[in-house]
Amino acid sequence: MNHIAPGSGAGTPAHGGDFDAIVIGAGFSGMYLLHRLRDQLGLSVRVLEAADGVGGTWHWNRYPGARCDSESHSYCYYFSKELLEEWEWSERYPTQPEILRYLNHVADRFDLRRDIALNTRVSAARFDEAANLWQVTTAEGRTLSAPFLITAVGCLSAANVPKIPGLEDFAGQWYHTGEWPQEGVDFAGKRVGQIGTGSTGIQAVPVIAETAGHLWVFQRTANYSVPAHNAPLSPEAKRWIREHREDIREVMTTNTNGHPFHIEDRSALAVSEEERQRLYEQAWAKGGLQFRATFRDLLTDKAANDTASEFLRAKIRSIVKDPKTAAILSNIDHPYATKRPPIDSGYFEAFNRDNVTLVDLRAAPIERITPRGIKTKDAEYPLDIIVFATGFDALTGPLLRIDIRGRDGRTLRDAWEAGPVNYLGLQVPGFPNMFTMTGPGSPSVLCNMPVAIEQHANWIADCIAGMRAKGLRRIEARPEAAQTWVRDVNAAAESTLLPEAGSSWYLGANVPGKPRVFMPYAGGMAQYRAICDEVARKDYEGFALSA
Ligand code: NA7
């Protein structure tokens, strides 16, 4: 069936375009948008997806140990009571295969597939001002049009493979964790080198170590990690979740980070040393991202943060038996949680295995990749497989790799030359009727993603519905509103310790040449939600609307 042609929507659109809306991406965002716009607003919608299946991030990230760091009962849609009731998660943190099964279930449950064109990569999108239509071109050269274009391309979907000289000559196999082969990779008995110790690398190490002959972990920046304490959900836990859905939703949609827990309203500096250690031990035993919530000022007060950072460094030293390895792993150059804090299942413990060796790239950087393996300043490591757990060109990358052109042919790349400029993280001035889901300038990656996604999709759908009701055809962020918002985004970041992590992908620092701008909105999801609601209530203040 050719899913790309107009078909199953609500009849021929009156505006002359092929569809009422085109959505790029069929992950959590794109699928909910499709349901919201098609089934609740009655629009004709086409979702274009590069992969051969739905799932977005969870389609691509199949690396060993891939698992979500949000707890399963919070990492799902809440828009449908029936969906919530019929799906039961099996573990505290969902594995990639389980999330993918869930998203496929959603696709079937809401009959989404008939409006999703798979294997369809969008290469360009151009706004035709006279026709008031977005012309969207696919990699195969087909063009589709619609008045509304919504990018649901994900925040972490443009893989970052560092340009290390010699990679093309490597005689073994190499893989990026975010573009993992569907058939998997057999590490049994192999000499494996993994570059990168972010959330992904920290998940992958213990699993790769189980079968690899030997694993060398190439660490540039040491990282904190808190145990996930993952386990199957007990029948009692499942029942509790079933019985408290509304309470869980309430917490997730009213707190700063979209997770099902509140940040404790106490300062790390207001309790005794003994009490602080007790609370940290308690949080460590509980595990997970919630560790951050032990005190309210861990991300705003350096002295408070130091207490958590030191506690976590001491934990590394107590777990890792070889003192030299422990020293390199705990020599961390940034305050805890100023980079995205990983959680793990046996990461530091893996360095106690005979077949795992840490390589300190700070002491001896990688010089090149040779046909045999990785050569650092000190030594050459012969390898059969290299795993790049080197992250993503985050937030702006997935948008900028599409040739997006707004009014007067201006490219998004040009508009964002000095860093992303937009209003509420939702619209870029000069790019009318284009909405970005969980892009830069929105809480996105600082929030539990499905919560951020439902808020965005609902706001966008309500906006489009309101426009249609009033006979309005165009909405565009005003440049002055965007300038103010960019200042607000910067001010929100500056009021935290987040910009202190020099190598953070939040700042774009992991991609050479990328403008160093703190990209997500750090003012918290609750505040962001309130701002968006207020803008809508004031007839979309800051946007220009026209017929
Ligand atoms: P991250 O968090 O960006 O981590 C990437 C890791 O790769 C990090 O340790 C980097 O070190 C390292 N890296 C990147 N380029 C190089 C080069 N050239 N040489 C050596 N090491 C390098 O990506 P993840 O995939 O782990 O996590 C992304 C998000 O996915 C995560 O935060 C969750 O939100 C889910 P660096 O720190 O830059 O020195």
Q: How far apart are the first and last CA of the chain?
A: 36
Q: How far apart are CA 455 and CA 451, in angstroms?
A: 6
Q: How far apart are CA 198 and CA 188, in angstroms?
A: 24
Q: Which atom of ligand 1 is nearest to the CA of 178?
A: 25
**How far is the centre of ligand 1, averaged over its atoms, from the C-alpha of 111 (Å)?**
37
Q: Answer for the pair 171, 382: CB distance below 8 angstroms, yes or no.
A: no
Residue 292 has φ and ψ, to the nearest 5°, of -60, -25
- Mutate-to-test residue for ligand 1 from 70, 220, 368, 500, highest number of ligand atoms within 8 A of CB: 220
Ligand 1 and 507: CB distance under 6 A: no
CA distances from 517 to 305, 430, 508 (A): 23, 21, 7
Give yes or no for residue 91 having a pLDDT over 60: yes
Give yes or no for residue 50 having a pLDDT over 70: yes
Q: Whose CA is nearest to atom 18 of ligand 1?
A: 162
Question: What is the DSSP track for 276-339?
Answer: HHHHHHHHHHH-SGGGGGGSTTTTT-HHHHHHHHHHHHHHHHHH-SSHHHHHHHT---S-TTSS
**How far is the centre of ligand 1, averaged over its atoms, from the C-alpha of 198 (Å)?**
5
**How far is the centre of ligand 1, averaged over its atoms, from the C-alpha of 501 (Å)?**
13
- Mutate-to-test residue for ligand 1 from 60, 200, 203, 219, highest number of ligand atoms within 8 A of CB: 200
Say what the pLDDT of residue 3 is.
52
Say what the pLDDT of residue 259 is.
97
Q: Answer for the pair 405, 413: CB distance below 8 angstroms, yes or no.
A: no
- Mutate-to-test residue for ligand 1 from 194, 366, 510, highest number of ligand atoms within 8 A of CB: 510
**How far is the centre of ligand 1, averaged over its atoms, from the C-alpha of 159 (Å)?**
10
Q: Answer for the pair 48, 31: CB distance below 8 angstroms, yes or no.
A: no
Q: Answer for the pair 157, 26: CB distance below 8 angstroms, yes or no.
A: no
Q: Which atom of ligand 1 is nearest to the CA of 391?
A: 23
Q: How far apart are CA 237 and CA 18, in angstroms?
A: 48
Say what the pLDDT of residue 1 is.
36
Q: How far apart are CA 87 and CA 109, in angstroms?
A: 11
Give yes or no for residue 2 having a pLDDT over 50: no
Say what the pLDDT of residue 7 is.
46
Looking at every residue in the chain, the average pLDDT score rounds to 96
Q: How many CB atoms lie within 10 A of CB 408?
A: 8
**How far is the centre of ligand 1, averaged over its atoms, from the C-alpha of 342 (Å)?**
11
Give yes or no for residue 97 having a pLDDT over 50: yes
In 3D, which of 311, 346, 343 has the Cα closest to residue 330?
A: 311
Say what the pLDDT of residue 372 is.
98
Say what the pLDDT of residue 353 is.
98
**How far is the centre of ligand 1, averaged over its atoms, from the C-alpha of 262 (Å)?**
28
Q: How confident is the model over 151-180, as pLDDT tens digits?
A: 999 999 999 999 999 999 999 999 999 999
Q: Which long-range contacts (CB under 8 A, 24 or more apart) does 5-10 make?
A: 6/44, 6/46, 7/114, 7/115, 8/114, 8/115, 9/38, 9/43, 9/44, 9/45, 9/46, 9/115, 10/38, 10/42, 10/43, 10/44
Give yes or no for residue 51 having a pLDDT over 70: yes
Which of the four pLDDT bands, split at 50, 70 and 90, describes residue 5?
low
Longest dimension (CA), the chain: 70
Q: Which atom of ligand 1 is nearest to the CA of 220?
A: 39
Structure tokens of 546? 């026209």
Q: Whose CA is nearest to atom 2 of ligand 1?
A: 198
Which of the four pLDDT bands, split at 50, 70 and 90, describes residue 9?
very low
Q: How confident is the model over 113-134, as pLDDT tens digits?
A: 999 999 999 999 999 999 999 9
Give yes or no for residue 252 having a pLDDT over 90: yes
Say what the pLDDT of residue 8 is.
46
Going through 90-200 in order, the beta strands assigned E by DSSP cover 116-117, 122-128, 133-138, 143-146, 148-151, 173-176, 191-195
Say what the pLDDT of residue 11 is.
53
Helix (H, G, I), strand (E, B) or coil at 63: coil
Q: How far apart are CA 162 and CA 169, in angstroms?
A: 15
Q: What is the residue whose two structure tokens read 């995205």?
A: 340
**How far is the centre of ligand 1, averaged over its atoms, from the C-alpha of 505 (Å)?**
8
Give yes or no for residue 12 having a pLDDT over 90: no
Structure tokens of 4? 């790309």
Helix (H, G, I), strand (E, B) or coil at 413: helix
Q: Count CA atoms within 13 Å of residue 507 on its CB side.
A: 16
Ligand 1 and 198: CB distance under 6 A: yes
Q: Whose CA is nearest to atom 6 of ligand 1?
A: 196
Q: What is the dihedral of CA 360, 363, 369, 375, to 10 degrees?
A: -100
- pLDDT, mean of residues 85-109: 98
Ligand 1 and 220: CB distance under 6 A: yes
Instruction: Give the DSSP H or E segment for 527.
Output: helix 525-537
pTM of the predicted model over 0.85: yes
Say what the pLDDT of residue 42 is.
97
**How far is the centre of ligand 1, averaged over its atoms, from the C-alpha of 127 (Å)?**
35
Q: Whose CA is nearest to atom 4 of ligand 1?
A: 198
Q: How far apart are CA 202 and CA 185, in angstroms?
A: 18
Say what the pLDDT of residue 502 is.
87
Q: How confident is the model over 211-245, as pLDDT tens digits?
A: 999 999 999 999 999 999 999 999 999 999 999 99
CA distances from 50 to 9, 26, 89, 343, 380 (A): 21, 9, 28, 30, 38
Q: How far apart are CA 25 and CA 85, in angstroms?
A: 26
Q: How far apart are CA 67 and CA 170, in angstroms?
A: 29
**How far is the centre of ligand 1, averaged over its atoms, from the C-alpha of 341 (Å)?**
12
Give yes or no for residue 276 having a pLDDT over 80: yes
Q: How far apart are CA 60 and CA 85, in angstroms?
A: 27
Q: Whose CA is nearest to atom 32 of ligand 1?
A: 340
CA distances from 317 to 275, 348, 358 (A): 21, 9, 14
Structure tokens of 206? 């213990």
